[in-house]
Structures are given as structure tokens and as C-alpha cells.
Structure 1
């Protein structure tokens, strides 16, 4: 779910271009590569980071991806958005926790990022109703959570 971007928080043209590029790259990768390769890349990036991203850095990257999504020739949904942010933050040597989960009924899957305190960032409050299935972070890099 894209975040609303106000005039004051609107990303620069360069940030929008990087956001579009990350969305395009991740969207293409998700369509042509096995999902295990994508999660392996996310795990590798988590191990390469110098320090955790601040909540402000994460939100800034998410805004850039939301802004750049209008220039991508396919839909940027939660999976592309969250993994694009993992990629951009990883390139800056900043870590973030990436979560993928589900809820029922009816069945819905969702992917999101969490802040240092474990709360979803740039997401609606209903995100907390999802059961985490896969969590990749620099601290718990094992994959499936309990």
C-alpha cells in the first residue's frame, strides 16, 4: 500500500529516479528469478550493512519508491516496494528488517519493513494483523519466524 506523500515530504527528482530504478529492478527480478534467489540477496544485503537504518531513512526510501512507481511499466505492490527499499538501503550499507506474512480470512499476503522498535513503517495500522512467515534482518537472519 503506497504511502501518501505530501508536498513537504516529496522526494527529490534524483531520489524518485532511484526509487523507480529499484522498483523496476526488483519487479523484473521477482518475475524472472526464483523467489529463493531474491530472499538470498536480501539476506546477503543484511549481512553487508554497516548499521541499522533509522526510521526516517526507511520512510524516505519508501517515499522515493512510491514516487518512482508511477514511472515503472507495471504495478509496484508491497513485495516490490519493500524489497526495493531493502535494496536501496543495502546499497547505502544500512540494514532494515523485511517481513513477509499472511492473514485469514480471507487469505491475504503482505510484505513490509519494520523499524528499530519492531513496528511496521509506512504501513497502515492493520499490518499488525498479519502473521509473520518470513523475517530477514541483520539480527535474525534465519528466515522463518515462529
Structure 2
């Protein structure tokens, strides 16, 4: 069931990002992802949600890069306190601009991790 929820979330998020202006998408997403009830979940439940998002993203017939994956993870775990979606950039030695999105819980990356040889400068936190 979690795989199905992740698949639907990813497809709706991807569609919203493609079809809506970003400020409109952000308002709609925030309204849908808002939860007044916060609860701690086990690391096992977080790992299951991350697995579902990664697996669904890898098997769906559309390209789902870091932002839709991070947004879907944050949505599925919307009741978890201290969960933030981070957006950052890297400037490579070749002066190539690389953006990346990831989700953290209490400062630890739960989805969207990167190799140690890469360093992203955090630009924005979407709580």
C-alpha cells in the first residue's frame, strides 16, 4: 500500500510541478501536506517510506529527479516533526550549476543523499 501511495504522490507532484506556476504549486502542496497532528514514527517507518518513494520513482515511466522524490517523501511523512525539505546548489569546478533537493530529520539526510566528494550550499528550507 505504501508503494501505491508513493507512486500516486510522485505522479501528482510531477504533474503539479509541470502544469502549475511554482507559487501556485507550493500553495496547493502546503495545503495538502499540512498536518496539525504531529507524531514520532520509528526509523523503520521512515525507511519504509523512503524505500517506497525510491522504488516507485525508479519504476514509473517518467523521470523523477530529486525534487519530486523529496516532496513525495515529505508528504508521506508529513506528521513527523522536525522534517525539512532542503534545496541547495553546487558550483562545480567547470562552473556548472547543479541544484539538488533532499529531506532531513534533525539534521540527518533521509532521502537525497550525495557522495562525500560533492558539496551543496543550502539555499532554502521548505518546512
| The one of 68, 72, 77 aligned to 1:80 | 68
TM-superposed CA distance for 1:31, in Å, is 0.5
Distance 1:131 1:19 in 2: 28
Aligned residue pair count: 121
Cα drift, residue 46 of structure 1:
5.2
Q: State the secondary structure of the residue aligned to 1:59.
A: helix
2:38 corresponds in structure 1 to: 50
Give the Cα separation in 2 of the matches to 1:132 and 1:83. 16
1:89 and 2:86 aligned = no
Deviation at 1:63, TM superposition (A): 0.8
Structure with greater strand percent: 2
Contact 1:18–1:68 under 8 Å retained in 2: no
1:65 aligns to 2:62 (yes or no): no
Deviations 1:90-112 (A, max 9, x none): 2xx23420011111022100000
Q: Distance in 2 between matches of 1:132 and 1:41?
A: 24
Which structure 2 residues correspond to residues 4-15 of structure 1 after superposition, within 5 A?
Answer: 14-15=1-2
TM-score normalized with structure 2 length: 0.78
Aligned Cα RMSD in Å? 2.5
TM-score by length of 1: 0.69
Q: Which runs of 5+ in 2 are unaligned?
A: none
